[in-house]
Amino acid sequence: MKAYRLLTADDTSAFCHKVTEALSKGWELYGNPTYAFDAANGVMRCGQAVTKDVDATYDPEIKLGQL
């Protein structure tokens, strides 16, 4: 199965570390990153979709971050 995650965080180095960690665990970038202003919190937010082929059957209880 192909697993999909959308990683999001404030525009800080923590977001880059989150994406780098996912890549180091075999996730692959999917599409372009997103960048938008969060007016409610007054910060810029980043997003990046990632996918990973895994040997598993889909279950809504799967913890995607642990794949």
CB atoms near residue 51 (< 10 Å): 14
Q: What is the pLDDT of residue 50?
A: 98
* CA–CA separation, 56 and 59 (whole Å): 9
Instruction: Give the predicted TM-score (pTM) of the model.
Output: 0.89
> What would the DSSP string read from start to end of 5-49?
EEEEEESSHHHHHHHHHHHHTT-EEEEEEEEEEETTTTEEEEEEE
Residues of the chain scoring pLDDT < 70: none
Q: What is the pLDDT of residue 18?
A: 97
Q: What is the pLDDT of residue 65?
A: 87
Length of the chain: 67
CB 63 within 8 A of CB 25: no
